[in-house]
């Protein structure tokens, strides 16, 4: 996919991996529909990007709000060619802690935002993508979802988070198969530990424990390294239906 003048959605664009992805894609000439729940951060990101973009405050789990954001983007730029789902939240709660069961409302919130929110955005975006004119390679669109290495190496207290991210991996191939006839690819990226606002809040002991699992480079990932992976997926037409780990070789112990 040629990103110059192509329009796409980036969720979670107000911070972290979403913000870095928006910066990378905008630098390549893409026109973006930036989605986040924080309007102040969202507008700050939009104002800092080269080119013209739409900032849309929306809850990724809300079909009406996401639909309105898509209509705003299509109205401004005429089409929709890609989706990069970065919106997500962490959790830390054991299955049973001090004799008390994991809070079910927390479980549902994590699954709702990380998994259902991602699917909600992509399903509504695809509804518009199928009407795109195919490019020279027959492509009409690309979807990139964000999983996590917690999908494979979940830590204690990550049952909900790991389940949500493992499901992102699990739905990648079926969605790619569903959309193959339309010339739409679906991929996922499973990042390891990256320098974001989320990891900045991890206690020092927790970071030290994770750092023992780092292979090389022996450091956290940089958000622009995630953005470069997204760029590679969008622009390489022969990647489809799979999930790439992006973790410097890290494998978490329990």
Apex 142 CA angle, 247 and 66, nearest 5: 95
- In the chain, pLDDT over 90 holds for what percent of residues? 88
Distances (CA, A) of 138 to 80, 131, 183: 15, 12, 6
Q: Is 238 a catalytic residue?
A: no
Is residue 40, in this structure, part of any structural domain at all?
Answer: yes
pLDDT at 48: 96
Q: Is 69 helix (H, G, I), strand (E, B) or coil?
A: helix
Task: Return the residue matching tokens 């390679």.
Answer: 137
Cα–Cα dist 87/91, whole Å: 14
Cα–Cα dist 95/106, whole Å: 11
Q: Is 190 helix (H, G, I), strand (E, B) or coil?
A: strand
Give the mean model confidence (pLDDT) for residues 197-209. 73
pLDDT at 253: 80
Residue 199 has pLDDT above 80, yes or no: no
Range of the domain at 216: 7-245
What is the tens place of the pLDDT at every residue in 10-66? 999 999 999 999 999 999 999 999 999 999 999 999 999 999 999 999 999 999 999
Could you tell me the strand order of the sheet in which 54-57 lies?
A: 54-57, 31-36, 7-11, 82-85, 141-146, 184-191, 243-246
Residue 147 has pLDDT above 80, yes or no: yes
Tell me how many domains the chain contains: 1
Choose the weakest-confidence range: 1-5, 100-104, 124-128, 234-238.
Answer: 1-5
What is the tens place of the pLDDT at every residue in 72-129? 999 999 999 999 999 999 999 999 999 999 999 999 999 999 999 999 999 999 999 9
Please choose, from the candidates 115, 123, 86, the residue with its C-alpha nearest in 3D space to the C-alpha of residue 10.
86
Please choose, from the candidates 12, 8, 20, 52, the residue with its C-alpha nearest in 3D space to the C-alpha of residue 194.
20
Query: Which is catalytic among the residues 161, 222, 238, 244?
Result: 161
Is residue 252, in this structure, part of any structural domain at all?
Answer: no
Cα–Cα dist 52/87, whole Å: 22
- DSSP 8-state assignment for residue 115: I
Is the full-model pTM beyond 0.85? yes
pLDDT at 43: 96
Is residue 1, in this structure, part of any structural domain at all?
Answer: no
Per-residue buried b or exposed e for 202-223, using 16+ beta carbons within 10 Å of the residue's own CB = beeeeeeebeebbeeeeebbeb
pLDDT at 252: 84
Instruction: Give the chain's mean pLDDT.
Output: 95
Cα–Cα dist 6/73, whole Å: 11
Other C-beta atoms lying within 10 Å of the C-beta of residue 101: 10
What is the helix (H) or strand (E) element at residue 157, kind and residue range? none
What distance lies between CA 111 and its chain's CA centroid?
A: 14
Task: Return the residue matching tokens 């207290």.
Answer: 157
Which pair of structure tokens corresponds to residue 83? 């989706």
| Dihedral sign for Cα atoms in the order 67, 73, 78, 84 | negative
Cα–Cα dist 8/53, whole Å: 10
**pLDDT band, very low/low/confident/very high, at 202 (cuts 50, 70, 90):** confident
pLDDT at 212: 82
**pLDDT band, very low/low/confident/very high, at 209 (cuts 50, 70, 90):** confident
Return the CATH number at 138.
3.40.50.720
pLDDT at 222: 96
**pLDDT band, very low/low/confident/very high, at 145 (cuts 50, 70, 90):** very high
Is residue 28, in this structure, part of any structural domain at all?
Answer: yes
């Amino acid at each position: 996919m040629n990103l110059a003048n192509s329009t796409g959605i980036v969720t979670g664009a107000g911070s972290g991996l979403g913000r870095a992805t928006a910066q990378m894609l905008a630098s390549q000439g893409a026109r973006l529909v930036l989605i986040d729940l924080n309007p102040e951060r969202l507008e700050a990101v939009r104002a800092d990007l080269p080119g013209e973009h739409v900032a849309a405050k929306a809850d990724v789990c809300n079909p009406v709000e996401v639909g309105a954001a898509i209509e705003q983007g299509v109205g401004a730029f005429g089409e929709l060619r890609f989706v990069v789902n970065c919106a997500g939240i962490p959790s830390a709660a054991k299955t049973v802690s001090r004799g008390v069961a994991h809070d079910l409302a927390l479980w549902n919130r994590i699954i709702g935002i990380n998994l259902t929110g991602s699917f909600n955005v992509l399903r509504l975006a695809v509804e518009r993508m199928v009407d795109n004119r195919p490019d020279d390679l027959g492509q009409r669109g690309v979807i990139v979802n964000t999983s996590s290495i917690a999908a494979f190496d979940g830590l204690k207290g990550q049952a909900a988070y790991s389940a949500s991210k493992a499901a992102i991996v699990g739905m990648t191939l079926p969605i790619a198969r569903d959309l193959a006839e339309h010339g739409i690819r679906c991929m996922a990226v499973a990042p390891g530990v990256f320098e974001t606002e989320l990891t900045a809040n991890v206690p020092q002991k927790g970071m030290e424990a994770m750092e023992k699992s780092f292979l090389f480079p022996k450091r956290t990932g940089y958000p622009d390294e995630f953005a470069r992976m997204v760029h590679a997926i969008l622009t390489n037409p022969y990647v489809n239906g799979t999930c790439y780990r992006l973790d410097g070789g890290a494998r978490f112990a329990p």
